[in-house]
Amino acid sequence: MRLGSLFSGGKDSAFAAWKAMQDHDVVCLVSIVSGNRFSYMFHTPNIHLTGLQAEAAGLPLVRGSTRGVKEEELEDLKDAIRKAMEEFGIEGVVTGAVASNYQAQRIQRICDELGLECVNPLWMMDQEKVLMGVIENGFEAIITGIFAEPLTEEWLGRRLDKSAARDLLKLRASHSVSPTGEGGEFETTVLDAPFFRKRIEVIEAEKQMIGENSGVFVIKKARLAIARSERKI
């Protein structure tokens, strides 16, 4: 089946796209740039990098925009998906939803209205397995947004590796932090993935804190680096 993958540039959307690629033909990525950083639907930290990520993956990107008004933003998503249908003949949409009924139900409704299949590779998957699946399958992601206690500035820019996973699982036990950030506790940006032809190298970035437990790691400048096939083992 020809699919368009909803893509925020974060770990869950990238992991879901890769899992969908095992059984389907993902022919494009679909991203929404929201003017509301507190959007109910859309990831916002470093959303401007999705063009570079799409280039790294060798996939076309359908990019939409929205003011981020609750519920109204769904029409903007629907318009972007409709554009992907027209340009790339997609028959379904991939989502990175793990446990959010709010997102899953609304995307399903859009797919129903457009006559598309909704493919949810991560839906109701154990969150620890999602986290470890990202790490163990060669995704390189960094934490680029924190929005909850007890996450503090030192988490920004931190690579999502086994050490970070151990710490997140400890925070799940002590503070009920979702190990995937499904509760909005943190956001990530993917710099490399199994389906990328090149990785993304961060050239310039800045931490911007808004209080002790809220901030973003803004990637101001980045470039494509060496292709996977050219790397030394």
Rounded CA separation 209/224 (Å): 27
Question: Do 149 and 102 share a structural domain?
Answer: no
Beta strand 92-94 with 117-119: parallel, antiparallel or unpaired?
parallel
Q: What is the pLDDT along the chain (233 residues), one digit of tens a residue?
A: 999 999 999 999 999 999 999 999 999 999 999 877 666 567 678 999 999 999 999 999 999 988 767 777 889 999 999 999 999 999 999 999 998 888 889 999 999 999 999 999 999 999 999 999 999 999 999 999 999 999 999 999 999 999 999 999 999 999 999 999 988 899 999 999 999 999 999 999 999 999 899 999 999 999 999 865 455 43
Rounded CA separation 211/213 (Å): 6
Rounded CA separation 219/207 (Å): 9
Question: Do 204 and 137 share a structural domain?
Answer: yes
User: Domain boundary at 85, 119, 153, which?
Assistant: 119
Domain of residue 28, CATH code: 3.40.50.620
Question: Do 142 and 110 share a structural domain?
Answer: no
Rounded CA separation 13/30 (Å): 10
Question: Do 110 and 13 share a structural domain?
Answer: yes
Question: Do 153 and 55 share a structural domain?
Answer: no
DSSP 8-state assignment for residue 93: E
Question: Do 89 and 164 share a structural domain?
Answer: no
User: Domain boundary at 84, 119, 154, which?
Assistant: 119
Question: Do 133 and 102 share a structural domain?
Answer: no
Using DSSP, how many helices (H) and how many strands (E) does the chain show? 6, 9
User: Domain boundary at 102, 119, 136, which?
Assistant: 119
Question: Do 111 and 138 share a structural domain?
Answer: no
This prediction's pTM: 0.93
The residue segments making up the domain with residue 82 are 2-119
